[in-house]
């Protein structure tokens, strides 16, 4: 029997499975209070998914507010936090939207589909802004490369990202892959998508006009991913995880490609009033958010939703996370044209309801009212928690356990031996095995892609205007100091974008943490968010959106706190981009920025000594900004032949990477103060290597002087040298470098 | 007269835009065609672009090969119209029977995207007449099913008649006899697994070695 609204009113004492659906008792009571009666089964299903951590941000909301409150004055922000994705102005009437989202839990259970649908979901978010998706990136974390399960997860995730993204015709332009034991039971799969449109093509999700039609189009609704958001993203993982398999959605990239083309054809013909993708919480989310963002009223005939499984209950239809579906608000006059476009692309399209002024989301099942709720209470007025925050007791021990007592390499042979260890380690080797499984060429506008410091896409073929994006995280730094660590993550992404010559203009993030019910984890989270918000203010660029993934822990052990930060930059002429490949023997090699003996939290400490302790490198916002300004000028005036930022592994690793990519030898003559291992493996921030040809040298020196950019001359490109020669210390041949960087990712 | 080259978009086609760009850079005029069209809009030649038409469901290229427009493509090809099938387009040409053999999963079972060196071994086709014999080209491959397979007898026939158009210098996918591209006996229909349309602009592709295919069809001479 269908549990109708009137039935609910008449049977107040009926026991309901709120606990099984992941609701807490006070949350259930709050629902009763809002409705003035018990919820129907359908209403309960909706609230349970929409009030889940994943959809409601109930633990993170109080902290995330800082991104809005500390927003720097910005003239580039066109759409801010709260819509499917933020939108920024890049000039010439172009608007860019970008966002990262996690698909961590599904990717552990079923790596291929988990990762594939992660790409699918973020691409639909970008599409829902009215933008043409133009590129994807991914930030991945796996357990140790030699752990038994890593190969399964890694292979599945990489083929899932490739299988889905390649089929959509979206170039994959970079990202990162990191191995660490803490991610063994909780891999991180964070997918970023970037899209472009003209200013007047921006779409939002508010259904504003009474009488407009609610159109559901794309795939038919099936039984996949039901309750995925509440079951998967809100419970700590344990051995029972394998039973959760049906909760992972199954992707159909072909359908998504059709969805992209059909949606953009409708949007460009101005046939869409508002639009929302169906992702987490499916129809429950789309209908309640669109109503809540608009007039506040909507009437839906749930029985008109096309199904691919006729045995689904109405609650399951409401909660299903079947992929490749979109919901658009269409003016009645435009319906025929919209249906024609859907037919052209062989897509199912069904009117499932209309916009009303009732201030209520009413859902009918064969003419019986089964949902009658104020949509705001579902979509936006979910519970908000001030979770307890407690700096972990062991944090002091962690900080006091610095690298000062570790044995450092003292002579050339020892330094070389450590360098070889670093560049043979899965975290630093060539990731070509992964990136070659992704299409980087499609759409014909990819200017830079992995392993370049940032990915770059040409946006305007006439003017050459383009965008650069980098996506970076560093769990080690964040474990030691989540506030500073998050700032260093942002600084690295900012610097990577700057390396290409682009001007950083916007930030997005994906915050991956353990259980919010653990006060220690909550402390990490609060610190990281505050750090990021403060750093955005210092860099003077806005945070345009983000995503939170909690419960990344196995038992009591949480992952390293891993905020992943994306920075978007703009370059007026992509032809002036710089990468890390040099070609001219005789060009000079400079180190920009100041090096301090900062080895705490470094990848050297991790790889050579399996050590994590001390304080991460200091941050200097002014120095980062000056460095970025230098890079912009190097690009604009074509002063630099190659640039590469210094991060994991410090100077020697950066030089080895440049030699590896360029294939021409390099002779390094270090100034005395840089000749110690503390300086050579230091990860001091705000640094870069710049290669300058003889034609650029005067301008280079003049510019550094003008901008007060610290620099040291450290050597020369020299084709007579085989590989990397560091005078008085060591030499590594091209063959050695090649064999190290070609080491396998997993054993 | 500018050569008008039709670029057919199927559902799931991805490299149509890139093919059109390459045709224009090569001196031709790209004419977009839709797979549900019945006629070819008077074009002089056809490119079947890369991608995952119909999601590669059933078999790569199989469903696209029976799209409404393909009747006209097959008829015109038999009458001598130049047709270039790139990647997924090559798979379609094999499915229609215009070219022999089939493309199967890469030897390592992974999708592979990287520039590969190939050598042009037949310069008599409509799409390779610009090249000198044995020219080496750097052209990106990007596919999961690029392993060219054919019966021993069919292979013998291809080799005997000189129908192999290009070979990989370092076979990346297990293709028989390192085959990267083949043509029909008339030389008007060419199927190629690497993507010459992604080697026409050094800023955004792998060099410019692919331009020769589009110069060939546009009738550019030097």
Domain residue limits, chain B: 4-218
d(CA B10, CA B91): 13
Q: Nearest chain B Cα to A457, which residue? A: B204
Instruction: Count how many residues are written for chain A.
Output: 747
* pLDDT value at A482 more than 50: yes
Nearest residue to A303 (alpha-carbon basis) of A354, A347, A353: A353
pLDDT at A521: 97
pLDDT at A468: 98
Q: How confident is the model at residue A246 (pLDDT cuts 50, 70, 90)?
A: low
Indicate the average pLDDT of chain A: 94
CB contact under 8 A, A437 and B112: yes
| Touching B: A residues 131-170, CB under 8 Å | 159, 162-163, 166-169
Any alpha helices (H) in A540-689, and if so which ranges? 603-609, 621-636, 650-662, 677-680
> Quick check: B51 and A169 in contact, CB under 8 A?
yes
Question: Which of A169, A253, A344 lies at the smallest CB-CB distance from B55?
Answer: A253
Q: Nearest chain A Cα to B195, which residue? A: A441
Strand partners, A549: A512
Q: How confident is the model at residue A227 (pLDDT cuts 50, 70, 90)?
A: low
* pLDDT value at A230 more than 80: no
Q: Output the CATH code of domain B4-218.
A: 3.40.50.880
Question: Left (φ > 0), alpha (ψ -120 to 50) or beta: where does A155 sit?
Answer: alpha
DSSP string, A467-503: EEEEEEE-HHHHHH-HHHHHHHHHHHHHHHHHHTTPE
Q: Report the gap between the CA of B17 and the closest CA in chain A (Å).
A: 7
- In the block, residue with structure tokens 């001007």: A503
Q: How confident is the model at residue A226 (pLDDT cuts 50, 70, 90)?
A: confident
pLDDT at A250: 85
Strand partners, A178: A141
Q: How confident is the model at residue A245 (pLDDT cuts 50, 70, 90)?
A: very low
CB contact under 8 A, B113 and A169: no
Coil, helix or strand for A421? helix
Residues B12-38: what's their mean pLDDT? Answer: 97
Instruction: Count how many residues are written for chain B.
Output: 222
For residue A435, list chain B residues with Cβ-Cβ distance below 8 A: 113
Question: Which of B12, B17, B52 lies at the smallest CB-CB distance from A443?
Answer: B17
d(CA A581, CA A66): 40
For residue B142, list chain A residues with Cβ-Cβ distance below 8 A: 166, 439, 441-442
A380 catalytically annotated = no
* pLDDT value at B20 more than 60: yes
CB contact under 8 A, B11 and A439: no
* pLDDT value at A229 more than 80: no
Residues B141-150: what's their mean pLDDT? Answer: 97
> Quick check: A143 and A188 in contact, CB under 8 A?
no
Question: Which of B12, B57, B112 lies at the smallest CB-CB distance from A257?
Answer: B12
pLDDT in tens, A359-403: 999 999 999 999 999 999 999 999 999 999 999 999 999 999 999
* pLDDT value at A602 more than 60: yes
Q: Dihedral of CA A118/A122/A128/A133: which sign?
A: negative
Question: Which of A253, A439, A575 lies at the smallest CB-CB distance from B113?
Answer: A439
Q: Which is more confidently placed, A586 or A1?
A: A586
CB contact under 8 A, B55 and A252: yes
Strand partners, A217: A326, A349
For residue A255, list chain B residues with Cβ-Cβ distance below 8 A: 55
> What ipTM was reported for this prediction?
0.96
Residues B180-191: what's their mean pLDDT? Answer: 98
Cβ contacts from A onto B, under 8 A: 87
Task: Say yes or no: A436 contacts chain B, CB-CB below 8 A.
Answer: yes
A63 catalytically annotated = no
For residue A442, list chain B residues with Cβ-Cβ distance below 8 A: 14-15, 18, 142, 198
Q: Which is more confidently placed, A469 or A225?
A: A469
Beta strand pairing status for A503-512 and A543-549?
parallel
d(CA A260, CA A247): 25
% of chain A surpassing 90 pLDDT: 90
- Edge-to-edge strand ranges of the sheet holding A543-549: A446-448, A455-458, A466-473, A562-571, A503-512, A543-549
Q: What angle do CA B16, B17, B22 make, to 5 degrees?
A: 95
* pLDDT value at A236 more than 50: no
Residues B162-178: what's their mean pLDDT? Answer: 98
d(CA B55, CA A167): 7
How far lies B206's CA from each of A601, B136, B196, in Å? 38, 14, 9
CB contact under 8 A, A444 and B205: yes
Task: Say yes or no: A463 contacts chain B, CB-CB below 8 A.
Answer: no
* pLDDT value at A455 more than 80: yes
Residues A239-254: what's their mean pLDDT? Answer: 63
Structure tokens at A658: 């440049």
Q: Over the Cα atoms of chain B, what is R_g?
A: 15
Contacting A with CB below 8 Å, chain B residues are 11-12, 14-15, 17-18, 21, 36, 51-52, 54-57, 110-114, 140, 142, 144, 195, 197-198, 201, 203-206
Domains, chain A, in order of start with CATH, read 1-69+204-382 (3.90.650.10), 406-425+579-747 (3.90.650.10)
Q: Report the gap between the CA of A445 and the closest CA in chain B (Å).
A: 5
For residue B55, list chain A residues with Cβ-Cβ distance below 8 A: 167, 252-255, 257
Of A80-84, A593-597, A713-717, B104-108, the one with minimum mean pLDDT is A80-84
Helices A734-741 and A650-662: crossing angle, nearest 10°? Answer: 100
pLDDT at B221: 60
For residue B57, list chain A residues with Cβ-Cβ distance below 8 A: 254
Task: Tell me which residues of B are annotated as active site.
Answer: 87, 195, 197
pTM of the model: 0.95
């Amino acid at each position: 029997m269908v549990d109708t609204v009137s039935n609910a009113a008449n049977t107040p004492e009926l026991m309901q499975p709120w606990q099984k659906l992941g609701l807490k008792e006070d949350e259930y009571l709050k629902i009763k209070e809002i409705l003035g009666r018990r919820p129907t089964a359908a209403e309960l299903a909706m609230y349970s998914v929409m009030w889940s951590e994943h959809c409601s941000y109930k633990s993170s909301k109080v902290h995330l507010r800082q991104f809005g409150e500390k927003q720097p004055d910005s003239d580039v922000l066109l759409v801010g936090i709260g819509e499917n994705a933020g939108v920024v102005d890049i000039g010439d009437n172009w608007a860019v939207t970008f966002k990262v989202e996690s698909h961590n839990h599904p990717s552990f259970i079923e790596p291929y589909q988990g990762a594939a649908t992660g790409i699918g979901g973020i691409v639909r978010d970008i599409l829902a802004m009215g933008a043409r998706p133009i590129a994807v990136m991914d930030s991945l974390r796996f357990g140790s490369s030699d752990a038994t399960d890593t190969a399964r997860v890694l292979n599945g995730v990489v083929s899932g990202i490739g299988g889905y993204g390649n089929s959509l015709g979206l170039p994959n332009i970079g990202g990162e892959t990191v191995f660490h034991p803490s991610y063994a039971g909780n891999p991180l799969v964070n997918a970023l998508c970037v899209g472009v449109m003209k200013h007047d093509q921006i779409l939002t999700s508010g259904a504003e006009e009474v009488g407009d039609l609610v159109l559901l189009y794309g795939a038919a609704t099936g039984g996949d991913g039901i309750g995925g958001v509440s079951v998967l993203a809100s419970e700590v993982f344990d051995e029972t995880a394998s039973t959760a398999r049906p909760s992972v959605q199954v992707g159909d990239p072909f359908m998504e490609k059709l969805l992209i083309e059909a949606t953009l054809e409708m949007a460009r013909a101005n046939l869409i009033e508002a639009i929302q993708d169906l992702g987490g919480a499916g129809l429950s989310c789309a209908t309640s958010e669109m109503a809540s963002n608009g007039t506040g009223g909507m009437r839906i005939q749930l029985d008109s939703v096309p199904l691919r499984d006729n045995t689904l209950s109405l609650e399951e239809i409401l909660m299903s996370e079947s992929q490749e579906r979109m919901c658009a608000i269409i003016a009645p006059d435009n319906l025929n044209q919209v249906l024609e476009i859907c037919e052209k692309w062989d897509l199912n399209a069904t009117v499932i309801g209309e916009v009303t002024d009732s201030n209520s989301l009413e859902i009918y099942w064969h003419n019986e009212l089964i949902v009658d709720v104020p949509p705001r209470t579902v979509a936006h007025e979910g519970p908000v928690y001030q979770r307890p925050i407690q700096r972990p007791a062991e944090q002091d021990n962690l900080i006091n356990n610095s690298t000062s007592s570790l044995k450092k390499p003292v002579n050339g042979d020892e330094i070389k031996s450590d360098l070889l260890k670093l560049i043979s380690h899965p975290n630093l080797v060539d990731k070509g095995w992964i990136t070659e499984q992704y299409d980087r060429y499609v759409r014909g506008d990819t200017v830079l892609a992995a392993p370049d410091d940032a990915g770059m896409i040409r946006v305007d073929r006439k003017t050459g205007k383009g965008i650069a994006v980098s996506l970076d995280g560093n769990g080690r730094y964040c474990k030691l100091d989540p506030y500073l660590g998050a700032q260093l993550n942002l600084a690295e992404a900012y610097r990577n974008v700057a390396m290409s010559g682009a001007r950083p203009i916007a930030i997005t993030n994906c915050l991956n943490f353990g259980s919010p019910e653990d006060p220690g984890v909550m402390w990490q989270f609060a610190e990281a968010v505050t750090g990021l918000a403060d750093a955005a203010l210092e860099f003077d660029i806005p945070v345009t959106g983000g995503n939170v993934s909690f419960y990344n822990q196995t038992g009591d052990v949480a992952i390293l706190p891993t905020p992943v930060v994306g920075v978007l930059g703009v370059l007026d002429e992509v032809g002036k981009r710089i990468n890390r490949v040099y070609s001219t023997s005789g060009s000079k090699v400079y180190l920009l920025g100041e090096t301090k003996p900062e080895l705490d939290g470094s990848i050297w400490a991790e790889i050579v000594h399996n050590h994590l302790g001390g304080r991460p490198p200091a941050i200097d916002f002014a120095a980062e900004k000056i460095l970025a300004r230098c890079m912009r000028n190097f690009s604009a005036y074509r002063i630099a032949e190659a640039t590469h930022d210094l991060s994991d592994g410090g100077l020697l690793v950066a030089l080895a990477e440049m030699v590896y990519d360029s294939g021409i030898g390099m002779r390094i003559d270090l100034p005395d103060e840089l000749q110690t291992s503390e300086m050579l493996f230091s990860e001091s921030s705000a640094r870069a290597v710049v290669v300058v040809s003889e034609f650029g040298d005067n301008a280079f020196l003049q510019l550094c002087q003008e901008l007060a950019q610290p620099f040291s001359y450290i050597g020369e490109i020299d084709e007579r040298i085989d590989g990397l020669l560091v005078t008085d210390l060591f030499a590594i041949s091209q063959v050695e470098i090649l064999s190290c960087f070609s080491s396998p990712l997993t054993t | 007269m500018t050569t008008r080259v039709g670029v057919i978009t199927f559902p799931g086609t991805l490299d149509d835009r890139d093919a059109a760009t390459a045709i224009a850079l090569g001196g031709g005029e790209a004419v977009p065609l839709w797979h549900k069209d019945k006629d070819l809009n008077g074009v002089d030649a056809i490119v079947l672009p890369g991608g995952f038409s119909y999601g590669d469901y059933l078999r790569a290229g199989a469903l696209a090969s029976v799209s409404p427009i393909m009747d006209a493509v097959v008829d015109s090809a038999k009458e001598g119209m130049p047709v270039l099938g790139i990647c997924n387009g090559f798979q379609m040409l094999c499915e229609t029977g215009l070219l022999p053999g089939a493309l199967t999963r890469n030897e390592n079972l992974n999708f592979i995207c990287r520039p590969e060196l190939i050598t042009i071994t037949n310069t008599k086709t409509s799409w390779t007449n610009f090249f000198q014999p044995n020219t080496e080209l750097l052209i990106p491959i990007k596919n999961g099913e690029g392993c060219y397979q054919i019966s021993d007898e069919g292979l013998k026939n291809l080799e005997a008649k000189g129908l192999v158009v290009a070979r990989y210098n370092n076979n990346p996918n297990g293709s028989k006899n390192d085959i990267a591209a083949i043509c029909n006996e008339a030389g008007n229909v060419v199927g190629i697994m690497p993507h010459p349309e992604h080697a026409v602009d050094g800023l955004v592709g792998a060099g410019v070695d692919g331009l020769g295919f589009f110069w060939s069809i546009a009738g550019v001479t030097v």
